[in-house]
Amino acid sequence: MTHALPRDLHCPRIATRANGLELSRIVAGMWRMVEWNMTVGQRIALIEQCIAMGVSSFDHADIYGNYGVEGQFGEALRAQPALRDRIQLISKCGIKLLSNKRPEHAIQHYDTTAAHIVASAEESLRQLHTDRLDLLLIHRPDPLMDFDEIAEAFTRLKQAGKVLHVGVSNFSRHQFEALNRRVELATNQVEFSPLHVAPMFDETFDGLQDLKVAPMIWSPLAGGHLFTSNEANAENLRLVVKEIADRLHQPFASVIFAWIMQLPSNPVPLTGSGRIEAIAVAVAGTTFKLSRTDWFAILRAARGHEVA
């Protein structure tokens, strides 16, 4: 069943903690932008349509699109400079890919040295055509990472005004807290969906809630597997979500976004689509809450067993 979205759909903003960082309740993920084959005008239109719905935060990483996404987004900001002050720019660093754009990389690896963090952030600023990043994240834990060195690089970038807030992605609770003791972190961006509920039970969300830090969520729809997986668990989950969605007269994916955002750690989900209709479905998830019964029905279906 197709459900009409509210005409006055608008996404609220959320402060992730007392340090002042504000992100839109839904964040637009740009990692596939190169694949969307948009003209500069179409990119500008997408950004403006997102802003009109209250989706003002845009998630990047230096490596996205074979080091190409930030440049494409930056072309839109160069063509329409007034957009910059209406949005929040997020980027990540710390992974070096094998790429024709980086011929000096002999092997794919992590690099969280201060020199690489600072150089990557400065290159992101150039590519995005901006003087500051609202949020810079370490993309993944590095086995060779030195917490003191990362904190020093983050502090240097913040003092220079090039990065306003810092955080991490895919860190464990212990890794997050170890770095947070050295430099204040604004978020931990982690994978979470009804098909990947580990952060709910491995202390990731509990630790962030304790610190009043809202996690960011990548792959909230399990990379599309919620719609396509043939596994019995996923098929049963789809039936449960569809029943709830039909009863509430809400789109299927909106129910998933609402389910995620109902967690007390206050997760901030990302979308990964260039279709404004798909982003609107995510925003619709901010407009209603599930009953506790429906919320646990989805968790039970997701895990394939009773919760108690």
In which element (H, E) is residue 89 found? strand 88-93
Number of H helices, E strands in the chain: 14, 12
Rg (CA), the chain: 19
**Active-site choice (64, 218, 257, 259):** 64
Q: For residue 270, give the 3-state DSSP assignment.
A: strand
CB 202 within 8 A of CB 174: no
The reply to whether 67 belongs to the active site is no
Say if CB 238 and CB 227 are below 8 A apart.
yes
CA distance 40 to 83: 13
- Phi and psi torsions of 228, nearest 5°: -120, -20
In whole angstroms, what is the distance from residue 14 CA to residue 56 CA?
11
**What DSSP state is assigned to residue 214?**
P
What gap in Å lies between CA 144 and CA 177, rounded to an integer? 17
3-class SS of residue 123: helix
Residue 3: CB atoms within 10 Å: 14
Active site residues: 64
